Amino acid sequence: MKILVTGFMPFGGEEINPAWEAVKLLPDTINGAEILKAELLTVFRKGAQVLQALIEAHQPDAVLCVGQAGGRASMAVERVGINLRDARIEDNEGNRPRDEKIIPGGKDAYFSNLHTRAIVERLQNCGIPAALSYSAGTYVCNEVLYHLLYWIDTLYPQMQGGFIHVPYDPAQAAKMSSPAPSLPIATVSEGLKLALQEISQ
């Protein structure tokens, strides 16, 4: 089995993105599955283009994308991607789309075909804060998730795919003007490892 795991470049003025930092710590194999790690651009359209090229090149059995969601207190396993770009802040190239369809003619939403509840329960049982999430937002993370699920629906029906949002790292939270929840990158990486164990079963 081959699993592609992605994180994003820092954005919004942050020096790091805990999603990518946690992905980098993952082992190269989990439960016998080969783990491929890649960093995506935090740029509308381009992030998804990089992911598409990676999928075409490696033909993975599963794809798990990981992104930062500052303000969340736990690892959030996303259940759905929606067909909407509506940016609160600019991406890393200054784009700020408003009220745009990601794929004109695509469904309003696609659901992850990962065992999302089982992933959450595995993390919780191992002492890692985790929760199901029903909104991946409307920024680049959701755009990438929506594209991934669209491709599964239209091009790669045998592939699994989904997304996990992760909190700030404590070093990021310490710089905030008001308290923000956080999780250490090492803890996030352990949570991702547990998620990948569930996916690779």
| Residue 95: per-residue pLDDT | 96
More confident call, 179 vs 115? 115
Catalytic residue among 65, 143, 147, 165: 165
> Does pLDDT of 177 surpass 90?
no
| Residue 198: per-residue pLDDT | 97
> In this predicted model, what pLDDT tens digit does every residue of 91-141 receive, in sequence order?
999 999 999 999 999 999 999 999 999 999 999 999 999 999 999 999 999
| Residue 136: per-residue pLDDT | 97
Q: How far apart are CA 39 and CA 21, in angstroms?
A: 10
Catalytic residue among 65, 141, 147, 190: 141
Q: State the SS3 of the chain.
A: CEEEEEEECCCCCCCCCHHHHHHHCCCCEECCEEEEEEEECCCCCHHHHHHHHHHHHHCCCEEEEEEECCCCCCEEEECEEECCECCCCCCCCCCCCCCECCCCCCCCEEECCCCHHHHHHHHHHCCCCEEEECCCCCCHHHHHHHHHHHHHHHCCCCCEEEEEEECECHHHHCCCCCCCCECCHHHHHHHHHHHHHHHCC
> In this predicted model, what pLDDT tens digit does every residue of 180-192 receive, in sequence order?
899 999 999 999 9
Is the entire prediction scored with pTM above 0.85? yes
Mark whether 190 is an active-site residue: no
> Does pLDDT of 41 surpass 90?
yes
Q: How far apart are CA 47 and CA 40, in angstroms?
A: 5
Mark whether 147 is an active-site residue: no
> Does pLDDT of 176 surpass 90?
no
Catalytic residue among 21, 65, 78, 143: 78
> Does pLDDT of 175 surpass 90?
no
Q: How confident is the model at residue 67 (pLDDT cuts 50, 70, 90)?
A: very high
> Does pLDDT of 162 surpass 90?
yes
Mean pLDDT of 35-39: 98
Question: In this structure, are residues 8 and 17 in contact, taking their beta carbons and an 8 Å threshold?
Answer: yes
Question: In this structure, are residues 164 and 5 in contact, taking their beta carbons and an 8 Å threshold?
Answer: no
| Residue 103: per-residue pLDDT | 97
The percent of residues in the chain predicted with pLDDT above 70, rounded, is 100
Question: In this structure, are residues 184 and 170 in contact, taking their beta carbons and an 8 Å threshold?
Answer: yes
Q: How far apart are CA 149 and CA 37, in angstroms?
A: 19
Query: Would you list the domain boundaries of the chain?
Result: 2-199
- The second-level CATH assignment, the architecture, of 2-199 is 3-Layer(aba) Sandwich (3.40)
Residue 101 has a CB neighbour count (10 Å cut-off) of 13
Mark whether 165 is an active-site residue: yes
Residue 98 has a CB neighbour count (10 Å cut-off) of 10
- Kindly report the average pLDDT of the chain as a whole number: 97
